[in-house]
Amino acid sequence: MAQGSNFVDYVKVCCRSGHGGAGSAHLHRDKFTAKGGPDGGDGGRGGHIMLQGSTQHWTLLHLKYRKHIIAENGQPGGSTLKTGATGKDEILEVPLGTVAKDAETGEVLFEITRDGQTKILTPGGRGGLGNWHFKSSTVQTPRHAQPGMPGKERWIILELKVLADVGLVGFPNAGKSTLLSVLSAAKPEIADYPFTTLVPNLGIVSYRDNKSFVMADIPGIIEGASEGKGLGHRFLRHIERNSVLLFMVPADTDRTIEEEYNILLHELTAYNPELLDKPKLLAITKSDMLDEQLESEMAEQVPQGIPYLFISSVTGKNIQQLKDMIWKAINE
């Protein structure tokens, strides 16, 4: 089993909340009372289906095989104004960064971003009112009560957008996985052919004074990703959540650094123009093969106004300086 195959970032589930319990139409009777008034209790609420944020989960794998989520029905009301029991809620734990959508309309319902945050996905049906609610000066002994309201059933899509401080943006083979493996304890699959990374790899990078930040290696963008080509949209959505984008251009690229950077930028802009507001950094990778003269010639091709470094994950060249540059950008 490939390392990434248990990273599930999309599931579709059918959610059915509980039916509300019926109200009771009971009339009070005991050995002293032959014809008492109404004392039917209310029905209990049907169970909700809820999402709860949990830092214990990184993916939606645990929900992949749960196609139907069904909450309990509420119990009917009883005599002596007893309210029926509430149906048990179904609480689904999800990783932070999970977005819930209506599968039919595509409408985004809400997003879970904090540990312990709880939101109702499909509310349970309301319990019916017991007959004592319908007593009036003209109707002393109502013999009717409300039925419970039905629960709701709908298909929901849950999508995960990885929450990371830094997203690595580059074409396949830009050296993103190698950098992640050098900076953190993550062990991404690395090979020198495109598309080794098929799922976002997350790594925790330790920094000075016991500080750390989270870095996500997002699968290589290819030209046309914004139109849905290649691995397209599924992976671009992970970039939306990162606070800093680190563009990676290999020193051995056939294009100029600026050309390669502009193509990457164009893909991101076409997908979501808001991504341009994020702080951007540039790392020119595989720089161990450059001498000083080549490096200074290439530095002239770097786009204006973006902080950059020539780095090498293999020799460790400028790796600490890169961490400093990233830390500064995250905390500005």
Q: Is residue 4 a known part of a binding site? A: no
How far from chain centre, in Å, is Cα 37?
Answer: 54
Q: Is residue 213 a known part of a binding site? A: no
Q: Is residue 38 a known part of a binding site? A: no
The span from the CA of 38 to the CA of 146, in Å, is 13
Q: Is residue 313 a known part of a binding site? A: yes
> Using an 8 Å Cβ cutoff, are 96 and 55 in contact?
yes
Q: Is residue 198 a known part of a binding site? A: yes
Q: Is residue 175 a known part of a binding site? A: yes
Q: Is residue 5 a known part of a binding site? A: no
Q: Is residue 218 a known part of a binding site? A: yes
Q: Is residue 177 a known part of a binding site? A: yes
Q: Is residue 217 a known part of a binding site? A: yes
Q: Is residue 286 a known part of a binding site? A: yes
Q: Is residue 270 a known part of a binding site? A: no
Going by C-alpha positions, the residue among 304, 241, 294, 230 that lies closest to residue 267 is: 230
Q: Is residue 288 a known part of a binding site? A: yes
The span from the CA of 327 to the CA of 321, in Å, is 10
> Using an 8 Å Cβ cutoff, are 156 and 94 in contact?
no
Q: Is residue 224 a known part of a binding site? A: no
Q: Is residue 268 a known part of a binding site? A: no
Q: Is residue 173 a known part of a binding site? A: yes
219-223 long-range contacts, CB within 8 A, separation 24+: 219/172, 219/195, 220/170, 220/171, 220/172, 220/173, 220/174, 220/176, 220/194, 220/195, 221/169, 221/170, 221/171, 221/264, 221/267, 221/268, 222/171, 222/172, 223/263, 223/267
Q: Is residue 196 a known part of a binding site? A: yes
Q: Is residue 203 a known part of a binding site? A: no
Q: Is residue 176 a known part of a binding site? A: yes
Neighbouring CB atoms inside 10 A of 277's CB total 7
Largest CA distance in the chain: 107
Residue recorded with tokens 């999800």: 94
Q: Is residue 219 a known part of a binding site? A: yes
Q: Is residue 312 a known part of a binding site? A: yes
Q: Is residue 171 a known part of a binding site? A: yes
- Can you say which residues are annotated as belonging to the binding site? 170-177, 195-199, 217-220, 285-288, 312-314
- Can you say which residues are annotated as belonging to the binding site for Mg(2+)? 177, 197
- Can you say which residues are annotated as belonging to the binding site for GTP? 170-177, 195-199, 217-220, 285-288, 312-314
